[in-house]
Amino acid sequence: MNTNHNKKMHAPRTHQEFNKDSYNKMNIERGDTLVYAMGGLGEVGKNMYCFEHENEILIVDAGVRFPEDNLLGVDYVIPDYNHLVKNSKKRKVLVITHGHEDHIGGIPFLLKTIDIEAIYAPAFAIALINKKLEERRMRGVKLIEINDRSSVKMKYFTIGFFNTTHSIPDSLGILINTPNGRVVHTGDFKFDLTPVGGNADYQVMAYMGQIGVDLLMSDSTNSGVEDFSISEKKVASEILDIMRKTRGRLIVATFASNVYRVSQILDAAVACGRKIIIFGRSMENVVTIGRKLGKIKVGEQHFLSPEELPHTPAHKICIVCTGSQGEPLAALSRIANGTHRYIKLIPGDTVVFSSSPIPGNGASVNQVVNKLFKAGANVLTKSILSNLHTTGHASQEEQKLMLQLIKPKYFMPIHGEYKMLKQHKETAIETGIPSENIFTCANGDVLILRKHKVYPSSFRIQADDIYVDGNDISGVSTAVLKDRTILADNGLVSVIIAIDSRENKVLCKPVIVSRGFVFIKDSQGLLKEAEMIVYNALNEKMKQKTTFSELKNCVRSTLEPYLYNKTHRNPIVIPVIINSKAAMQAMAARANRSTSNRKRSVSKQVHE
C-alpha cells in the first residue's frame, strides 16, 4: 500500500514572516526542523511528539494519561494544545503508532481544539478510533489506514513505517525523513523471538541503521528491567496449563488493551472445552473489534450470554474480565464486592491475574485479592513461580538491540518517567553513543535538527497538563482541584444569614450547616458558639454602610480562624445571604426606576 498525500497546502512563509514568530532567535534559524514532546516525557502516558518545519507540523500520537488519586474528579489528563492553536495556520497531520489509550485517547480532545488534515493509523487503531469518535458523535474525520508498506508524503516530511512487536496488533515504528536529516521513532516495542502475532522488521531496522539515522527516539518504559522480557508464548503455555488443571469456574482478569493476551486466553478456553463470557465494556469492545479484524479467531458458538451462565457447568466456564489493576468500577472489583449483576463468587472459583500491578496500583490490587480470598476463591498472580504476565515494552537488553540496529548519531529517550529516561541514557552510553549526543528532555523542550546535527534550544513551548472532567476540554483549574482536596480532607461549612438591607440589620442568628467537617449531633456546642461569633461580627459590620461581598468576607475571616483553633481543620466556608422579601422588592423597584431613567435619557439624546 502506498498512501501519498498531495493536498493543497498553505504557501511557504517569507523570511520576514518567519521572523515575526515568537521563537527565540538566539539559536533557531530559518530552515531548522524542530522536535519536541507535548506529552510522554517524565511520565507514562499522554504520548504526543511533534516535528515542525516551516509551515508544517507532523504529530505522532495523541494520548491521554489517567489521573493519580490526588486528582479528585478528573477523568483524563491531556497535553496543553495551546502551541498548536497559536500555529493554527500551519498544516497538521497526525500519525498513530498503535491503538493504546496513551497514544490515541486524546484524539477527540485534539480534534475539538485544532484542525487536523488527516489521521494516519494502522488497522486495529483505526477500528478503536472509529469506536471512540462514534461514541462522541464526531463525524467527518479523515482516517487513512497505513501499514509497514505505506508512505505518507507531505511538503517537508516523508514518513515510512516498519513493524514492531507490542501487546496490540498492528504496532508500527516510524521513519521520518526531514529536510535536515532522518529521525526514527520506535513507538512502543519489545523484541520477542517467538511472538504471538507478526515478527518485528529486523531487516528493515538494520537497513535504516546502514543508510544512516540522525536521531533515534525510543521507548524507555522498562529501562530499569535487566535482560530480555519473556515471550508471550510462555504466558500462553502457562495459561493453557492452568485451564487444564482447574476444575471449577475460571475467572481471568487482564488488560483489555493487551489484545494478544486476550486472544491467547480465549484460545486456551476453547482448547479446554470451556465456554467464554466477557465482562467489562472495554474488554467487550476489544474482543468485538479483534474478531471483526481476524486477530481473535474464536467463533460465536464458543461464547455464552449472561442468561446462559447459571445453566452451564462450572468446569465448562471461562470468564474474561477487566479489573486487573483493582479499578473500583471494573468487573472484577464488582465481582469481589458481590455487587456484579450476573456473577456471585462461589468456593472453588479460580481467579487468575494475567497482569502485573502498575506502580501505584498495588494497594488497590491487594484489596481486591483479599476480598476474593474471603469469598473462597483461589487466586493466582504473577510470581517467580509463574509466567502469568509479560510486558509489551523493551527491557534493557532489547533497548540495546534497538540502538545497535538503528545506530543513531543522536539519541532522545522517550515514553517514560524521568528515572526511566535517565536509565535509558546510561544504556545508550554503554552501546557507544557519546553522552553529549543524548538528550534527556522534558515536555516542551525543543531540539533543533539542522544539517544532520541535533542541538538543544533555549526556546520552550507551553506543555502543561490539562485536567479533563467529563468531556470539558477547557480543563479543571488548579483552584478547583484545591477546593476538591479541601472538601475531601476537611469538609464544608455553610453559613445561612438572613438580613434586611433596607434597615441594615441582621434579622436573626445565622444557621450553620456542616457536611464532612464534624458530626452535627456531637458538635452542637461548637456550632452554637460559632453562630454567636458570626452573629456578633455581622452586627458590628452592619453598623456602617456595607456590601454583600464585604458581609461574606466578614463571615469567612471570623469563622475560619475560630474553626481552625477548635479543630485544627480548614473546611470550605460558604456564606449564604438571604435578604428580606420587602428589601428585595425595594431593590427591584430601584433597579426598574434606574433602567427607566436611563431609557428616558437615551431617548432625549436621540431626539435632540
For the chain, how far is it from start to end, CA to CA, in angstroms? Answer: 76
The radius of gyration of the chain from alpha carbons, rounded to an integer in Å, stands at 31
Instruction: Report whether 258 belongs to an annotated binding site.
Output: yes
Distance CA 53, CA 345 (A): 58
CA angle 135, 46, 264 (to 5 degrees): 70
Active-site annotation, residues: 219, 393
Q: Which three cell numbers stand for residue 292?
A: 471483526
Instruction: Report whether 315 belongs to an annotated binding site.
Output: no
Instruction: Report whether 500 belongs to an annotated binding site.
Output: no
Instruction: Report whether 424 belongs to an annotated binding site.
Output: no
Instruction: Report whether 311 belongs to an annotated binding site.
Output: no
- Please give the DSSP secondary-structure letter assigned to residue 436: G
Are the CB atoms for 71 and 481 separated by under 8 Å? yes
Residues facing 379 on adjacent strands: 351
Instruction: Report whether 349 belongs to an annotated binding site.
Output: no
Element (H, E) at 392: none
Instruction: Report whether 256 belongs to an annotated binding site.
Output: yes
- In the numeric block, the cell 432625549 is attached to 604
Residue type at 153? Answer: K
Residue-by-residue DSSP string for 307-361: GGGGGS-GGGEEEEES-TT--TTSHHHHHHHT--SS----TT-EEEE-S-PPTT-
Alpha helices for 376-496 (secondary structure H): 396-406, 418-430, 478-490
Mapped onto helix, strand or coil, the DSSP state of residue 213 is: strand
- Spell out a b/e string for 103-138, using b for 16 or more CB atoms within 10 Å of the CB, else e: bbbbbbbbbebbebebbbbbbbbbbbbeebbeeeee
Mapped onto helix, strand or coil, the DSSP state of residue 604 is: helix
Instruction: Report whether 391 belongs to an annotated binding site.
Output: yes
Q: Which three cell numbers stand for residue 142?
A: 479523515
Residue type at 465? Answer: D
- In the numeric block, the cell 456542616 is attached to 514
Instruction: Report whether 607 belongs to an annotated binding site.
Output: no
Distance CA 95, CA 185 (A): 11
- Spell out a b/e string for 1-31, using b for 16 or more CB atoms within 10 Å of the CB, else e: eebebeeeeeeebeeeebeeeebeeeebeee
Are the CB atoms for 102 and 63 separated by under 8 Å? yes
Distance CA 142, CA 49 (A): 20
Mapped onto helix, strand or coil, the DSSP state of residue 217 is: strand
Instruction: Report whether 102 belongs to an annotated binding site.
Output: yes
Are the CB atoms for 545 and 504 separated by under 8 Å? yes
Instruction: Report whether 452 belongs to an annotated binding site.
Output: no
Instruction: Report whether 390 belongs to an annotated binding site.
Output: yes
Instruction: Report whether 257 belongs to an annotated binding site.
Output: yes
Mapped onto helix, strand or coil, the DSSP state of residue 570 is: coil
Instruction: Report whether 53 belongs to an annotated binding site.
Output: no
Phi-psi region of 207 (alpha: psi -120 to 50; beta: other; left: phi over 0): alpha
Instruction: Name, in order, each residue with C-beta under 8 angstroms of 305's C-beta and a sequence gap of 6 or more.
Output: 277
Other Cβ atoms less than 10 A from the Cβ of 511: the count is 13
- Please give the DSSP secondary-structure letter assigned to residue 100: -
Sequence ranges of the binding site for substrate:
256-258, 389-393
> Binding-site residues, please?
73, 75, 98, 100, 102-103, 166, 188, 256-258, 389-393, 415, 469
- Return binding residues for Zn(2+): 98, 100, 102-103, 166, 188, 415
Residue numbers belonging to the annotated binding site for Ca(2+): 73, 75, 469
